[in-house]
Amino acid sequence: MERVNIFKNNTCPAVRLPKAVTYPGNVWQVDPVVQGMEKHPVWAYPPNSLPLPAAPLFFLDYDGTLAPIVDNPKAGYPHPDVPELLQRLSAEHPVYIVTGRHLRDLYALLPKTLILSAIGLHGAQEGCLHGEVQERLTDIDRQALATMRATVPDLKGVWVEDKKHMFAVHYRKAPEPAAARQSIKAWADKSPEVLMALWGKDVVELRPTHLHKGTAVTAVYDKYPEHTPIYLGDDVTDEDAFNALPDDAVTVKVGGGATAARFRLPDIEAVVVYLKRFTR
Ligand SMILES: [Mg+2]
């Protein structure tokens, strides 16, 4: 495979991991949500059959793609092979972590020596993990978020995850999730035009309409026109990126569910196998 060293063009410097890394996430915990995820053997590709572009530009979703989805987001450690894999990939190719999380929430989950480019809060943040981060919200966005945050339905089992400049309302633990969803939907429908409601797995997030993973990855891709984007993601929020990237991009949906992606991998293990093929 032809290797293109674009390190000099990357936003964040690649770093070498020290020889002995004490890393708390080296125990691979299989979350029930991931374990029970419906497999689609007919649709899912074996990881050794996906394309290997010579000059890849990686966009990697975090939760559900590099790390299992767990009830406590602070315990969302990646697959044990992921830290070294990211270090090796980023030494040779541009690599962006693309997450709905505040980037600071990932600091405790990945080694501090790993300085990667990253897009957080679905495109509202761009910068480096463990480095400088810029936030791109307008005053109108902030005002609309504050107004909606003050009126979240007060229901049993429903909790709000504040991400400073956007927030998520979780109802997985509500006694009657369907009824909770109905109340939350009525509330979300009243949000001003500058905000959009993004429905995930038993969660809705309110975020500025003009910022999403699609606009974020397009802005990055403009900096790397000679590269082929490779986007791996598992959730509905990744669909914006699948739709925004060019037709020859290697878009990969991780797990089940409808998707605009060209390819599908069954689970995180398959993601790791595929990404390792770029490091040989
Ligand atoms: Mg995800």
pLDDT tens column, 46-84? 777 789 999 999 999 999 999 998 888 888 999 999 999
Q: Cβ–Cβ contacts within 10 Å for residue 157, how many?
A: 13
Query: 94 — phi, psi (to 5°)?
Result: -70, 130
Q: How far does residue 68's CA lie from ligand 1's centre (Å)?
A: 9
Report domain 39-135+211-279's class: alpha beta
Is residue 14 very low, low, confident or very high in pLDDT (cuts 50, 70, 90)?
low
**Catalytic residue from among 61, 105, 235, 238:** 61
Q: How far does residue 138's CA lie from ligand 1's centre (Å)?
A: 26
Q: Quick check: helix, strand or coil at residue 260?
A: coil
Residue for token digits 């007919």? 42
Instruction: Identify the CATH number of the domain defined by range 139-208.
Output: 3.90.1070
Q: Quick check: helix, strand or coil at residue 181?
A: helix
Q: Quick check: helix, strand or coil at residue 125?
A: strand
Is residue 194 very low, low, confident or very high in pLDDT (cuts 50, 70, 90)?
very high
Q: How many Å apart are CA 234 and CA 252, to the nearest integer?
A: 8
Cα 235 to Cα 107, 175, 196, 260, distances in angstroms = 22, 24, 17, 11
Q: How far does residue 210's CA lie from ligand 1's centre (Å)?
A: 20
Looking at 44-53, 192-201, 232-241, which range is the least confident one? 44-53
Does this model's pTM top 0.85? no
Q: How far does residue 233's CA lie from ligand 1's centre (Å)?
A: 6
Beta-strand ranges (E) seen in 79-214 are: 95-98, 117-120, 125-128, 133-135, 159-162, 167-170, 195-199, 203-208
Q: What is the model's pLDDT at position 147?
A: 94
Could you tell me where in the chain the CATH 3.90.1070 domains are found?
Answer: 139-208
CA angle 267, 48, 61 (to 5 degrees): 40
Q: How far does residue 119's CA lie from ligand 1's centre (Å)?
A: 13
Higher pLDDT, 239 or 163: 239
Could you tell me where in the chain the CATH 3.40.50.1000 domains are found?
Answer: 39-135+211-279
Higher pLDDT, 112 or 42: 112
The packing angle between helices 268-276 and 82-92, to 10°, is 40
Q: How many Å apart are CA 111 and CA 83, to the nearest integer?
A: 7
Is 240 annotated in the active site? no
